[in-house]
Amino acid sequence: MPQSQPTTFPEDFLWGVAIAANQAEGAFDQGGKGLSQADVVPHRRPTDYANLEHLMRVDEAGIAEAVAEKGTGRYPKRYGVDFYHRWESDLELLSQLGITAFRTSIAWSRIFPNGDDEKPNEEGLAFYERLFTRLRELGIEPVVTLSHYEMPLNLVTTYGGWEDRRLIGLFERYADTVLTRYRDLVTYWLTFNEINSTLFEPYTGGGIIEREGENTRQRAFQALHHQFLASALATRRAHEVNPGAKVGCMLARMTFYPMSCSPDDVLAAQEDNEMNLFFTDVHVRGEYNGVVRRHWADEGITVVMEPGDAEILREHTVDFVSFSYYMSMVSAANPDQHGGTPGNLMNGIKNPHLEASEWGWQIDPKGLRYTLRDFWSRYRLPLFVVENGLGAVDTVAEDGTVHDDYRIAYHREHLKQAREAVADGVQLLGYTAWGGLDIISFSTSQMSKRYGFIHVDQDDEGNGTLARTPKQSFGWYQRVIATNGAALDEA
């Protein structure tokens, strides 16, 4: 008899939305919270999005200036969208979507304000306990990230970020505290958000301040080794505290296509993909792949590893792979032959077959199916799309509604391709669309770059009533969830 194959999402599929504490909560100086690395990132108005990485850097002078400014000023992540005070009503509104999962993060500096405190901040612990308890009461599964670009600032300025091995023990203390406190409330944990960001954005991912004359890539790879160890130790502790806990890694997946069928371009794309996937290789296989080791040798990079490190990585691997997917990329052996400058956000060559968002991100729904199949073939572990969405400038119509057909189209086409991947045999746990409600943009700290299904009345300077209003996409996503994806086929 022919074997049956799934044709749609599983009945227990986790439909949800995702935010991050540093982009939503605000209240940067309330409830015993300490300054985080995100609290010193200013609002930027870049005009050259292809070179955005240069605008995302934070230096020592900038940190000192930000610390001296006690208020919110030009630091939007300090006020977010006031989720800290409005979380109850926000959850009530989000629950009307019918979501069964809500991804958020714990702000490390709410629990240990300086990162190296002897005792945790009870007020911070109590806040997240109330949040997770209410989610459970609403029948919504919390999906919680331990570290989402919001490490305590003191760990950056005093220790030098994750380059210092001492952060492993400090992270262990933090992880043990929250894993134990919320063991009956949280099943799904992610360790480090988009851990590969430490390589392309060292301050954001690793708390590394770039300095002239120093090899930043050397420092970043060393920091990553410490993060991998911390992730493995947190995974071990999660399973000790709650044998039913599910721990995942989280990668900003950048799937690369070759610019042509030239063997040189194909090899260039394979190289780029392997360098993106070595992060998940460490989490899933417990070892570094050969491509990254060759990079170390070719670049003269030495990653210091202590006795026992290899065993820790090998013995405490993750239960599932989660990732963000916003775009695909293009590789070529000789990029200068194709224009010479990046054509897709910070790197990669422009794909002539794809359209781009207002921020230059090339939109590729079929790339999500390709990515899911590729992950599944490589690891045979459950997969979870925990970020996917469209940043766009929204206009509020006279009737008070945001008619965001473009956002509906984006999610519809990506979800259709995710469904195709399920039919291909991929085990997909869920999909949490980025930004259930509008929040501060991570990269530019803009409010005008909106992702949510719920409009928040606030501008780039922090002005507005903060009123929450469902957009047209809210009702659409509500129908998709209620029909377990069947509404994706509606006209």
pLDDT for 110 = 98
The residue type found at 183 is: R
How many angstroms separate the CA atoms of 294 and 280, rounded? Answer: 17
Token pair of 260 as six digits: 């042509």
pLDDT exceeds cutoff 60 at 490: yes
Task: Let me know: does 302 contact 296? Beta carbons within 8 Å.
Answer: yes
pLDDT for 339 = 56
For 14-489, give the CATH class.
alpha beta
Distance, CA of 72 to chain centre: 24
Percent of the chain with pLDDT over 70: 94
- Check residues 349 and 132 and name the one with the higher pLDDT: 132
- Check residues 223 and 435 and name the one with the higher pLDDT: 223
Span 237-245, average pLDDT? 98
Q: Where are the alpha helices (DSSP H) in 216-364?
A: 216-241, 263-285, 290-299, 309-315
pLDDT exceeds cutoff 90 at 45: no
Pick from 106, 151, 150: which is nearest to 128 by CA?
A: 106
**pLDDT band, very low/low/confident/very high, at 48 (cuts 50, 70, 90):** very low
pLDDT for 445 = 87
Please give the C-alpha separations between residue 193 and each of 20, 196, 227, 311, 365, in angstroms, as whole numbers.
10, 9, 11, 23, 22
Instruction: For 280-426, list the strands marked E by DSSP.
Output: 320-324, 328-331, 383-387
pLDDT for 414 = 98
pTM of the full structure: 0.95
Distance, CA of 416 to chain centre: 22
Task: For CA atoms 353, 357, 362, 364, give the dihedral sign.
Answer: negative
Give the angle 186-368-482 at the CA atoms, nearest 5°: 55
How many angstroms separate the CA atoms of 471 and 455, rounded? Answer: 6
Which helix (H) or strand (E) is 373 found in, with range?
Answer: helix 365-379
Span 315-337, average pLDDT? 94
The full length of the chain comes to: 491
- Known catalytic residue at 172: no
pLDDT for 252 = 97
Give the angle 98-101-107 at the CA atoms, nearest 5°: 130
Q: Half-sphere exposure of residue 174, counting CA atoms within 13 Å on the CB side?
A: 28
Catalytic entry in 53, 287, 387, 413? 387
Q: Please state the domain extents for the chain.
A: 14-489
φ/ψ bin of 456: left (φ > 0), alpha (ψ from -120 to 50), beta (otherwise):
beta
pLDDT exceeds cutoff 80 at 336: no
The residue type found at 414 is: H
**pLDDT band, very low/low/confident/very high, at 1 (cuts 50, 70, 90):** very low
Span 26-46, average pLDDT? 90
pLDDT exceeds cutoff 50 at 349: yes
Pick from 218, 405, 354: which is nearest to 299 by CA?
A: 218
pLDDT exceeds cutoff 80 at 5: no
How many angstroms separate the CA atoms of 179 and 233, rounded? Answer: 12
Task: Let me know: does 44 contact 444? Beta carbons within 8 Å.
Answer: yes
Q: Tell me: the pLDDT tens digits for 176-217?
A: 999 999 999 999 999 999 999 999 999 999 999 999 899 999
pLDDT for 13 = 98
DSSP 3-state of 102: strand
Pick from 381, 375, 453, 366: which is nearest to 418 by CA?
A: 366
pLDDT for 348 = 60
Please give the C-alpha separations between residue 432 and each of 8, 104, 384, in angstroms, as whole numbers.
17, 10, 8
Residues ≥6 apart with Cβ < 8 Å to 324:
194, 250, 251, 252, 253, 385, 386, 387, 388, 434
Span 145-157, average pLDDT? 97
Span 461-481, average pLDDT? 97
pLDDT for 287 = 97
**pLDDT band, very low/low/confident/very high, at 359 (cuts 50, 70, 90):** confident
Pick from 268, 441, 259: which is nearest to 357 by CA?
A: 441
